[in-house]
Structure 1
Amino acid sequence: MQNPLDHAARVLAETDPVRRYHAAKAAAEAAAAPYKQAAEEARAQLIAQHGGNVAAAARDLGLTRQALYQGGKRDAAKGSGTAGAEQIQPARHFDSPEQARDALRDWAYEQQEVTDRLDVLLLGALAAGADPVDISEDSGVSLDTLRRIRPAGNITVSRLDEYGPEINDFARAVRARAAALRTAATSTAEHRAADIWHHAAREIARNAAPVALMPDDGPRKEDFGTIDEFIEAVVSRKRSEEEEAEDTKPLSPSASAGPDAYLAATYLAFRREATRGPLWSERTPEEAAAGEAVQAAFGELADAILHLRTTGQVPPALLTEAS
Structure 2
Amino acid sequence: MLPLPDHVTAALTSRDPLRVYRAAEDAQEYLADYLDSIKATAAGTLVTAHGGNKSAAARELGFNSPQAFAAWFNRRGERTGAAEAAPHAPEQPALYFRNPDEARDALGDWFLEQQSVTDRLEPLVLGALAVGLTPEEVYRLSGIPLTTVKRMRPAKIEVAADLGGLEAMTVLDETARALTAHALALAEAARADDQDESLLRSPASCGAHIWSVAARAFVHQLAPAALVPAETPEVRALRKAFQNQIAAQDAAMAAAHPNATDEELQELLHDAEPPAELLAAQKAYDTAYRELVGEDDDDSAPTTLLDPDVWLAAQISQFNREAATLRHPDRYLSDERDGARLDAMAGAYEQLAAAYLHLRATGTVPPLTTPGNPR
Q: TM-score range by the shorter chain?
A: 0.5 to 0.7
Larger Rg: 2
**Alpha-carbon contact 1:94-1:100 (below 8 Å) kept:** yes
> Match of 2:321?
272
1:266 Cα deviation after fit:
0.3
What letter matches 1:201 in structure 2? A
> Match of 1:203?
217
Q: For the structure 1 residues 316 and 282, does the alpha-carbon distance in structure 2 shift closer, same or farther, using more than 3 Å as the test?
A: closer
> Match of 1:184?
189
Unmatched 5+ residue regions in structure 2?
1-33, 41-71, 76-84, 194-201, 233-289
**Alpha-carbon contact 2:228-2:293 (below 8 Å) kept:** no
Aligned-residue sequence identity (percent) comes to 38
From 155, 161, 177, the equivalent of 2:163 is: 161
1:117 Cα deviation after fit:
1.1
> Match of 1:49?
none
**Alpha-carbon contact 1:160-1:313 (below 8 Å) kept:** no
> Match of 2:36?
18
Unmatched 5+ residue regions in structure 1?
1-15, 27-81, 219-236
Pairs within 5 Å for 1:1-323: 17-18=35-36, 83-151=86-154, 153-163=155-165, 164=168, 165-185=170-190, 186-187=192-193, 188-216=202-230, 241-242=294-295, 244-251=296-303, 255-276=304-325, 277-278=327-328, 281-317=332-368
SS in 2 for 1:130: coil
1:62-96 per-residue CA deviation (whole Å, 9 max, x = no partner) reads xxxxxxxxxxxxxxxxxxxx833322322112233
What letter matches 1:216 in structure 2? A
**Alpha-carbon contact 1:113-1:265 (below 8 Å) kept:** yes
Q: How many residues align?
A: 231
1:271 Cα deviation after fit:
1.0
Q: For the structure 1 residues 307 and 317, does the alpha-carbon distance in structure 2 shift closer, same or farther, using more than 3 Å as the test?
A: same
Q: For the structure 1 residues 157 and 94, does the alpha-carbon distance in structure 2 shift closer, same or farther, using more than 3 Å as the test?
A: same
**Alpha-carbon contact 2:220-2:298 (below 8 Å) kept:** no
Q: For the structure 1 residues 118 and 321, does the alpha-carbon distance in structure 2 shift closer, same or farther, using more than 3 Å as the test?
A: farther
Q: Partners of 2:121 and 2:353 in 1: how far apart?
A: 18
Higher helix proportion (structure 1 or 2): 1
1:194 Cα deviation after fit:
1.2
1:201 Cα deviation after fit:
0.4
Q: For the structure 1 residues 159 and 246, does the alpha-carbon distance in structure 2 shift closer, same or farther, using more than 3 Å as the test?
A: closer
Q: For the structure 1 residues 196 and 126, does the alpha-carbon distance in structure 2 shift closer, same or farther, using more than 3 Å as the test?
A: same
